[in-house]
Amino acid sequence: MYMKIKHLLFFIPVTFWVACEGTDLIEPDNVSKEQISTQIIYNPTKYSKQKGDVFVKSSLPTTMAKQIPNACVTSIMEYANNKVFGGTVNEGAYILYYTQTYNSNPLIDGVSLDYIEPFVTHFFKTQTFTNYKSAIDAKHPVMTDVNSQIESSAHNVLCVGYNSNTGAAIYMDP
């Protein structure tokens, strides 16, 4: 199966990633994982357009289909490919690849943190970045995990923008 590789910013536990050319990783200098997790888990608000909103792409859909249980990673990958990058890869292609490659069904077990890096980088190029603002300004969405209410688990979202007046992250949560 051939799929064109897209550019995606990627953030997994303890490590921030950006999609593009390299694979070197550094932590952002002004936004921590805990700050983003806290905003997303404890302070979520339904998006409404505000002055100062900056996005990775203009006219980006602000809603998405509700995820299949345990499939937040593949759901976010489909949204990034289709809506941000204009691709056509269906979530089922990601699920099939993961199942065949890692001998695990993400619809039952989710995507293992042990496999998330090689899984995502198979379809998206990653590179370093210094903070969410510079990543979004460079037109790179940031795939990130956030704390989950399920023990020993995380949830995947895609930061697609920020508000320049408030500093709030704008993200897709499947």
Q: What domain count does the chain have?
A: 1
Give the global pTM. Answer: 0.75
- Written as one letter, the residue type at 113 is L
User: 6-10, 97-101, 115-119, 140-144 — which is least confidently predicted?
Assistant: 6-10
**Model confidence pLDDT, tens digit, residues 111-163:** 998 898 899 999 998 776 778 888 899 999 988 877 767 676 777 888 888 88
Residue 60, number of CB atoms within 10 A of its CB: 15
pLDDT digits (tens, 9 = 90+) for 126-137: 776 778 888 899
- Is residue 133 in a domain? yes
Print the domain residue range for 104: 6-43+52-172
Residue 107 in any domain: the answer is yes
Helix/strand/coil (H/E/C) assignment for every residue in 136-158:
HHCCCCEEEEEECCCCCCEEEEE
Residue 162 lies in a domain: yes
